[in-house]
Copies of this chain bind each other. A is one copy, B any other.
C-alpha cells in the first residue's frame, strides 16, 4: 500500500478548496450527506486536514456558510456597481440581476435554504445571516433613495427602509422560486415581472424601471 502523493498548498488555497468542496457536498447531499470523508474526497485530501484547518467539521461548515453569504452579497452588489450614473438604471440593474442567471441558481438557493433552516438553532449562524441580510438591505436603500428623490416622492429614512424591506422580500421570494425551476412558469418572465412590481411598489411612473429591461440582456 503506497502512500498518497500530495502537494503542500498555501493556507488560503487549501482553505478555499475545502470550503468550496463543503458547499458542493451540502448542495448535492444536504447537511446530512456532507460527511467529513465525502468533503475531503471532493477536495482531494484526507479528512484529517479538516481538523488541521478548521478545528472541527462543524466549524468548517460554519465558515462555509459565511463564505457563501460573502459570495452572494458580492455578486448582488457587483450588478449595481457597474451600473451607469442613472439612478433608475442602477436600481433596475440591481433588481433585475437578482432574478437572472447567474444569480438564479439552484445550487445557490439550495445552499442558502439549507443554512437558513439552521439559523435559529446553530450557534453563530444568526450573526452570519443578519450581516448578509443587513448588507443587502442597505444596498437596496442606497439604490432606492436617489430614485425616490429624483421622482419627487417622500424619501425619509423610515419610508425608505420600509420600501427596502418590501423590495428585499420581493426579490428574495422571486429568486428562490425562480431558481427552483418548478416549471409553473418560464423564469425568463421574471425580470419583467419584478421590475413592474418594483415600479408599483415604489409608486414610480410606468416604464421608469421597465425601460431599462433591454440593458439587462445577459452579456
Contacts of A203 in B (CB 8 A): 200
Give the number of chain A interface residues (Cβ < 8 Å): 58
A74 at the interface (CB under 8 A from B): no
CB-CB < 8 A to A100: which residues of B? none
Within the complex, what minimum Cβ distance (angstroms) separates A35 from chain B? 10
Question: Which of B112, B117, B183, B197 contacts A130, CB < 8 Å?
Answer: B183
Q: Give the complex CA separation of A29 and B204 in angstroms.
A: 45
Select from chain B the residue with minimum beta-carbon distance to A165. Answer: B193
Binding site for B on A (CB under 8 A): 27-32, 106, 109-122, 126, 129-130, 133-134, 137, 161-163, 165-166, 168-177, 180, 182-185, 189-190, 192-194, 196-197, 200-203
Q: Is the CB of B196 within 8 A of A166?
A: yes
- Asked whether A184 lies within 8 Å of B137 as measured between CB atoms, the reply is yes
* A130 CB to nearest B CB, Å: 4
CB atoms of B162 and A196 under 8 A apart: yes
Among B129, B171, B183, contact of A180 (Cβ-Cβ < 8 Å): B129
CB-based contact B180/A161 at 8 Å: no
Distance of A170 Cα from B162 Cα, bound (Å): 13
- CB contacts (< 8 Å) of A176 on chain B: these are 116, 169, 172-173
Tell me whether B184 and A166 are in contact (CB under 8 A).
no
Give 24 CB contacts A-B under 8 Å: A29-B121, A30-B118, A30-B121, A30-B122, A110-B116, A110-B120, A112-B117, A114-B114, A116-B176, A130-B183, A133-B182, A134-B184, A162-B192, A165-B185, A165-B189, A166-B174, A166-B193, A169-B197, A171-B173, A172-B172, A172-B176, A173-B176, A197-B201, A200-B203
